Structure 1
Amino acid sequence: MQYRVQGIVIRSMDYGEGNKIISLFTREYGKMSVVARGAKKVKSRYGSSAQLFTFGDYLFYKNGQLGTLNHAEIIEPYHKIREDLHRAAHASYLAEMTERMMGDQEGQPFLFDQLKASMTAIQEDKDYEIIDHFYEMKMLTYAGYTPELDQCMVCRESSEAVALSIGLGGILCEKCILRDPQAIRISSGVFKLLRVFVQTDVRRLGQIDVKPQTKALLKHIMRSYFDTHVGLRLKSRDFLDQMDKYGV
């Protein structure tokens, strides 16, 4: 069957002497794997279109697990992402998260738009860590692990949130906070940002100014929640942590 799709390259790996296998995240069909023959060669017509993060039009024939690329036209190469270590590291995190969490050929138009908007936001130098959290929350929602932010997880009342229980999967009020000794105390500002991550389309993201201590707490919350409920070990996230550790 022949496909013509718009897609973002979320993985690119060598295959044989001169070929690459690319994973495309497409609007209509979700994740699809395609062989780009000759893409490793210097004068290949597919060299640029098979690079990680590239957004383009792809035409391929698919009969089984792998498609064979017949034509590609680049729409947005995202050069600025690939040319900068920090941009590339954060974009790689979003790409690997998508590649690992999405099943093959699961059409997710909204998630496609969120990933594309996130890549654009990284290229435009918006806050990389905040972009990560927006997209993490979209992927958590896709996987069915959206945190409960409207009512206390214990008493089920719409009381003021004072803590987030990672294990219970949502907020706790003051009278119920002792039900989870591991609950993380949160300010009203952190609570509002968590709700923004859930409710706001990344395509509408403007500049967000977040204090360093607030960003550190948000990172702790999102990492803990992701690890508890999804449990994927991502190499790109380990690389981000190494960059933070050594002040790169």
Structure 2
Amino acid sequence: MLNRVQGIVLRSMDYGEGNKIITLYTRELGKVGVMARGAKKVKSRLGAVTQLFTNGDYVFFRQGQQLASLNSGEIIEPHHKLREDLYKSAYASYLVEMVDRMLGEEDRSLFLFDQLEAGLLAIEQDKDMQIVAHVFELKMLALAGYTPILDRCASCERTDELSAFSVSLGGAACINCRRQDHYAAPVADSTLRLMRLLQQVDLRRIGNVNVKDSTKAQLKHSMRLYMDAHVGIKWKARSFLDQMDKYDL
């Protein structure tokens, strides 16, 4: 069957002497693996459309459970800047890695496709990359059924004196209930307010934000704890970001 889709390249790897296998996240079919024959060759018409982060229109043939074969592609957004800048590339890689590793074959969400498309564009447009990544983490957590409770204590449901973020309780914890979790991360009220805001943000409408370093540090720590506990994946892109921060690359 011939398929025409809009897709974003999540992963691209060499196969054999001249071919590539790419993983697309598509609006129409969800996540799909596609063989691009001859894409590694210098003059291949498929070379550009199979590069990581590329957003394009793709035509591929698939029969039964066999790997699809790419016929043609037309670029909508090449995202050159995401591949040319080390930090942008790392953050963009984290976004596509989340989609690639948290979704099964042909898991489909139009909303998630729009958020991924907008998230990559926001990184390219110099929006705060850490904030974009946290918004996308929250979208992925919601899709997986692990939305953290942020507007009240996740244990007793009181809405005042929230002072920690607890993985085991499932979100914000008040000054009393935080004692139930010795590993709860202390957070300021401003951090919880920011997390609530980011939970509601549509990446298609995200603007420039100015967040204090201390708030971003608390946010990063809390999101790390929650992602690691509920998703449990060792992220390659996130590890690379940590290495860059460590050596100030």
TM range (shorter): over 0.9
Mapping of 1:62-73 within 5 angstroms?
Answer: 62-63=62-63, 64-73=65-74
Partner residue in 1 for 2:21? 21
**Deviation (angstroms), 1:177:** 2.1
Unaligned runs of at least 5 residues, structure 1: none
Partner residue in 2 for 1:214? 215
The residue type paired with residue 33 of structure 1 is G
Partner residue in 1 for 2:148? 147
C-alpha distance in 1 between matches for 2:19 and 2:185: 48
Partner residue in 2 for 1:53? 53
Specify the SS of the correspondent of 1:69: strand
Unaligned runs of at least 5 residues, structure 2: none
C-alpha distance in 1 between matches for 2:58 and 2:181: 50
Specify the SS of the correspondent of 2:50: coil
C-alpha RMSD of the superposition? 1.1
Per-residue CA distance 1:120-173 (angstroms, 9 max, x = gap): 001101111111101111111111111011331221333342211112211111
Specify the SS of the correspondent of 2:72: strand
Identity of aligned residues (%): 56
C-alpha distance in 2 between matches for 1:242 and 1:39: 32
Mapping of 1:72-111 within 5 angstroms?
Answer: 72-111=73-112
**8 Å CA contact retained: 1:32, 1:104:** yes
Per-residue CA distance 1:164-211 (angstroms, 9 max, x = gap): 111221111123221222211211210111112211111110001111
The residue type paired with residue 114 of structure 1 is Q
**Deviation (angstroms), 1:65:** 4.2
Specify the SS of the correspondent of 1:181: coil
Partner residue in 2 for 1:31? 31
Per-residue CA distance 1:42-89 (angstroms, 9 max, x = gap): 000000000000000000011224110111000100111111111111
Partner residue in 2 for 1:183? 184
Per-residue CA distance 1:3-62 (angstroms, 9 max, x = gap): 100000010001111000000011121110000110000000000000000000000011
The residue type paired with residue 111 of structure 2 is F
Per-residue CA distance 1:80-127 (angstroms, 9 max, x = gap): 111111111111111111101111111110010111100000110111
C-alpha distance in 2 between matches for 1:86 and 1:210: 19
If the length of structure 1 is used for normalisation, what is the TM-score? 0.97
**8 Å CA contact retained: 1:33, 1:65:** no
The residue type paired with residue 187 of structure 1 is A
